[in-house]
A = this chain, B = another copy of it.
Amino acid sequence: MNRGKLLTVIFLVTAVPTAAVIAAVRSEPIQPIEPAKVANPALVELGKKLYFDPRLSKSGFISCNSCHNLSMGGTDNIKTSIGHNWQEGPINAPTVLNSSMNLAQFWDGRAADLKEQAGGPIANPGEMAFSHVLAVDVIQSIPGYTEEFKKAFGNETVDIDKMTLAIAAFEETLVTPNSRFDLWLKGDDKALTKVELEGYTLFRDSGCVACHNGPAAGGNSFQKMGLIEPYKSTSPSEGRSAVTGKDADRFNFKVPTLRNVELTYPYFHDGAANTLGEAVDIMGRLQLGRKFSDEENAKIVSFLKTLTGDQPSFLLPILPPSADNTPRPTPFEK
């Protein structure tokens, strides 16, 4: 230890009081999630209503919450999602929880941030099948909404930028602190059982943390699905290469967060793994070249379940009614 480091250690040890030492964060590749800070509550309230509003879809039936259901870990718990006219989606809906921590949005990272992402499904013919122009027309015609735009933005004009900004502002609040793993990270030795801690140690020391690290335990890099062994899937998705055009990016996907993973089944971009046990087994073999024993697998699964944090807690939003001149949904129009 050189002299500078030694001095720093001494300074920390002497300067930090006991309570803070207990609350100190353990030095681990996964860090705790902190509660969201809300800068503009009116913007978040508006975004929450828009997030729950199926009038952003052609059918009047599909909202953001349909596939990123906040009652179910921010997912739909279906292999691939159901879109307009019951179309089968090409990919598993990723959780919206803690998604503000992702380096980019969608499995292939084609949206830079939550605001850009929010505009995608509205206009996707296979999802909400609407258009930005029509969505703006609907929202602009609803007096209860224009009042909220005034509160959030200072004026009543509705446009898609403001709408997606509001949805993103709401989504930024959807973080899940206080998981048992975070309590342990913050120094509470009793927060994890012996088996859970053994599971974490195995998870860390086997190399899972190479990709699943940071506060979200993932979401911060693109990695190849099928590193040691190729991943066999019926899904046509080739991941990141669709964005970069580079052959080297084929089957590179954004590493999903493991936060609340107990709630976000089924797993992988194709939703092919129904249980955490399956997912751990496949990841071990394909990404690490390691076959976990049943006991090891169970230990890792028990650790993963400690990553479930506080779920979103708010009153069910009540949406402002359409006006007489609000364009009506056309769910069965060909």
Contacts and interface: CB of A to CB of B under 8 A. Distances in A.
Nearest to A84: B86
Contact of A60 (B53, B78, B275, B328): B78
B315 A315 contact: yes
A200 to B, nearest CB: 20
Number of copies of this chain in the oligomer?
A: 2
A76 B88 contact: no
A277 B324 contact: yes
A86 B85 contact: yes
Given A262-B321, A321-B265, A329-B78, A71 B59 contact: no
A77 B318 contact: no
Contacts of A54: 69, 72, 76
Contacts of A315: 313-316
A71 B85 contact: no
Size category of the A interface is 35 or more
A173 interface: no
Contacts of A69: 54
A73 interface: yes
A221 interface: no
Contacts of A119: none
A70 B315 CA distance: 11
Interface string A80-104: 0010011010000000000000000
A319 B72 contact: yes
Contacts of A316: 70-71, 312-316
A50 to B, nearest CB: 12
A11 interface: no
A61 interface: yes
Given A54-B69, A86-B86, 15 more contacts: A60-B76, A70-B316, A71-B317, A72-B319, A78-B329, A78-B331, A82-B331, A86-B331, A88-B332, A263-B321, A276-B324, A313-B315, A314-B315, A315-B315, A316-B316
